[in-house]
Homo-oligomer: A and B are copies of this chain.
Amino acid sequence: MSKLRLKISVSLDGFVAGPDQSVNDPLGKGGMRLHEWVVPLAAWREPHGLVGGEVNESNAVVLESIANIGATVMGRNMFGGHPGPWNRDKPWMGWWGKNPPFRHPVFVVTHYPREPLVLEGNTTFVFVTEGIEAAVALAKRAAGNQDVTLGGGANVAQQCLRAGLMDEMEINLVPILLGAGERLFDGVTDLGGLELVRTVATPQVVHLKFTKRRK
């Protein structure tokens, strides 16, 4: 059965984005530091159209986290932070460019209905206005025998955790403080049966893999 899997980078003080987030600075002040560990990796460079890169323990974790994924669910901010209803004449294309790195259907949880956005490289953004559970159900159907990844941000991750929808979670804990910003676990009071099953550590990042307890 298709699983819902989250991979997300978090600071030691629990933030997935720094303070003062905006459309021009979606990760907030200092937020880019959460992703410095991943950018040099071969597993990050390849889907972004770049050759080469480091192949280390973190690379293996990233490869695992992107393997067997047939669809993505993300929040509206992660798609592109558009603040209002879609403009039909000049539609907002999101942050991902003409050829996004997903290469499968991406279900965007939003309040604003919009026709699907079909882009190059087999990525289609589908806009879902019926809430997170509907988006996850549609994504699982689209994924078929493969899994669904929750792209973020924190808000949709929190909704999934509170609804008990999460089957697997890879927390990439970055040993820095951001001091303020958006917290991954705000408003979430328990892990809903997710248990720590594996830790892979480097000086730059500690990968904490959680899976749902078997009933």
Contact = CB atoms under 8 A, between A and B. Distances in A.
Interface string A166-199: 0000010101111110011100111100011101
Contacts of A177: 185, 188-191
A184 B210 CA distance: 23
Contact of A185 (B12, B171, B190): B12
Among A12, A176, A191, A208, the one with the most B-chain Cβ atoms within 10 Å of its Cβ is A12
B14 A13 contact: yes
- What's the dominant secondary structure at chain A's contact region? loop
A13 B208 contact: no
A203 interface: yes
Interface residues of A, number: 27
B206 A195 contact: no
A188 B191 CA distance: 26
A63 interface: no
Nearest to A189: B179
A1 B185 CA distance: 40
Contact of A199 (B13, B14, B195, B199): B199
A8 to B, nearest CB: 12
A12 B196 CA distance: 11
Interface of A: 12-14, 171, 173, 175-180, 183-185, 188-191, 195-197, 199, 201, 203, 206, 208, 210
9 contacts: A13-B184, A175-B210, A176-B190, A177-B185, A178-B189, A179-B185, A179-B189, A195-B203, A196-B206
